[in-house]
Chain A
Amino acid sequence: MRFLDWAVVVAYLVYVIWDGIRMTKHSGSAEGYFLANRSLPWWAVGLSVMATQMSAITLVGATGQAYTDGMRFVQFYYGLPIAMVILCITLVPFFYRANVFTAYEYLEKRFDAKTRTLTSFFFLISRGLGVGVVIAAPSVILSIVLGWSEIATIFAMGISTTIYTMIGGVQAVTWTDVKQMVVIFFGLSVVMFVIISQFPTGVSVSDGLHLAGSLGKLETLDFSFDLTEKYTIWSGVFAALFLFLSYFGCDQSQVQRFLTARSVSEGRTSLLMSAFLKIPMQFFILLIGIMVFVFYQFVTPPMVFNPIESAKAENTAQYQSLQTTFNAAHETREQAAVAFIADKSEPNRAAYVAADSAFNEARKSAVNYVKATSNPSFNDVNYVFPSFVTTYMPMGVIGLIIAAIFAAAMSSVSAELNALATATTIDFYRRHFNPNGTDREFVRFGRIATFFWGIFACIVAIYATNLGSLIEVVNTFGSFFYGSLLGVFVLAIGVKRARSRGAFFGLLFGMASVWIASRYTDIEFLWFNVVGCVVTVVAGYLISLTVRDTEQLREVE
């Protein structure tokens, strides 16, 4: 990082905070602070929806994953457009016309205060811990790349986001999201251009794609039906569909985005923007990882991408021996790659595949060595992209990419803090403690709640960086909650006979079923959403049948 890079990062941070703070003038009333007076255009809301979903770890992790595992991850998004269509038909008009601030507020209208409070409480717990992880994951990487302490990186990201979210409310969140998406995609486009321009003479993009394709790294459809396999077309189209329905339709951090739209039509259009753009966008991000992979066919990559772990081990004799083997394997693979590009015959392909296999074995030995001697849970996938950027990108571009990683993290964190503050204010403070409060009181409480959740997230992030298992706990807890939450909304909107008792206990049954599935089966976490939703709906319906409210039923029928 040189002066120009630092200047870009600092300029980005100063601009985004200033841009967020200047939205204060729009946030005088509760509706202005939490819902932007339902006045935002569809394209701004749509970009905000996408920015909220794309955290820094999605950006950095996806490129690293493409480098190591290819493009299979894109299948995860195949169910997203269908989820968006279902939400546009069902939940968007319901929420919008019900004039609610939070998704859970609707559950009180349909069921009772108890169900609303329970779902909102689970949202606060899971999202409150989740936002800490959203800050922690890139902070660990950036602290190594920037040479800062983890705490400094956490607070640079967490506090700056908290400041503009607290002051500017949802207007600040949305309009900074728009600019952050521009920074992210401008940065990624520049990286793509620079990587391709650094390919050796005579190696075209098409050649690079043939290299990656011959190793199976461009696979975008896996038809195998295996519940223990994370990314297949079935997990993408069915299991992830449930996750996306729940995330975009029942998670306040996303529901609040489309509630700020001018009308139902604009709210729908904002979601459909993701439906059209998300798969190509994710393909583009993964393609960058593939291009990094192609680049490293002709330049020796680091044997271990995490520089801290590499520095710890590099002076040992065994590591140096592994490095020698690794370098030789790379050289053989490079020669095989050049031969394959010159003549794409079957023998050359077989030789290249064999050379890549030997290379992977050499790297695997180094990774196992680090695991055995230093860190048993070592995984350096998330370091591939930052390591590449800081080593091979020109001055200024490094700063731009670091700013893009900050932008990806901050766009998610701001929306989540805003949603946490809204649920705290509307579902708890206004509902239980101050039902007759004034707009000013609600906005003031919303700002305090944003500040509280911002500090809470930073503290969680500090612990999450030291306790790897906490990240797993948070992710697992989130998957316990999402399917079951969707089940409650299915009961509310799709099952006339559903009653509050059924919804309340159905939610608890759903979460318990996911816990059992996670403990006693090997199915991948995406399928937990299906399990949670189905059990909640079935249990909720059966429990509702025990409620004797024939008078109400007659009224409906």
Chain B
Amino acid sequence: MGWVSGKLDTIELSPKLMGSHEEKKADPSEELPDEWWHKVYAAVVLTTIVVITLLWSFSRYFSG
């Protein structure tokens, strides 16, 4: 394995082209599909909004 990675000839942004011969071959069975991740990201955003709203309600309740 070559320790020094050569600069890529192109600047294509796809991660698949990064690292050329060194690219890690991820086992597809380990990776979850994009659709699933989109739902997770939506859940993170929604949960954050809910948590901030709960914190706001908490401060309003005890300040009032």
Q: Which residues of A contact B (CB under 8 A)?
A: 38, 71, 74, 78, 81-82, 84-85, 88-89, 93-94, 96-100, 105-106, 108-113, 206, 209-210, 212-214, 216, 218-221, 262-266, 268, 272, 275-276, 279-280, 283, 430-431, 435-437, 493, 496, 498, 552, 555-556
* Contact yes or no, B63 A74, CB < 8 A: no
* Contact yes or no, B3 A436, CB < 8 A: yes
Encode B1-17 as 1/0 by CB contact (under 8 A) with A.
Answer: 00111011111110110
A99 with B19: in contact, given A71-B59, A437-B3 (CB under 8 Å)? yes
Contact of B63 among A97, A206, A216, A493 (CB under 8 A): A216
A251 → chain B closest CB, angstroms? 20
* Contact yes or no, B48 A82, CB < 8 A: yes
Within 8 Å CB of B11, what residues of A? 110, 496, 498, 552, 556
* Contact yes or no, B44 A96, CB < 8 A: no
Interface size on B, residues (CB 8 A): 39
B13 → chain A closest CB, angstroms? 7
Within 8 Å CB of B32, what residues of A? 265
Given A109-B7, A272-B44, A498-B11: 17 more A-B contacts, CB < 8 Å: A71-B59, A94-B15, A97-B16, A98-B22, A99-B22, A105-B5, A109-B5, A109-B19, A111-B7, A113-B7, A209-B62, A213-B59, A264-B31, A272-B40, A279-B48, A279-B52, A496-B13
Within 8 Å CB of B37, what residues of A? 88-89, 268
B22 → chain A closest CB, angstroms? 5
Chain A binding site: helix, strand, loop or mixed by DSSP?
helix
* Contact yes or no, B18 A97, CB < 8 A: yes
Within 8 Å CB of A96, what residues of B? 24, 26
Encode B23-38 as 1/0 by CB contact (under 8 A) with A.
Answer: 1101100111000010
What residue in chain A is nearest B59 (Cβ atoms)?
A218
A171 → chain B closest CB, angstroms? 19
What residue in chain B is nearest A555 (Cβ atoms)?
B10
* Contact yes or no, B48 A97, CB < 8 A: no
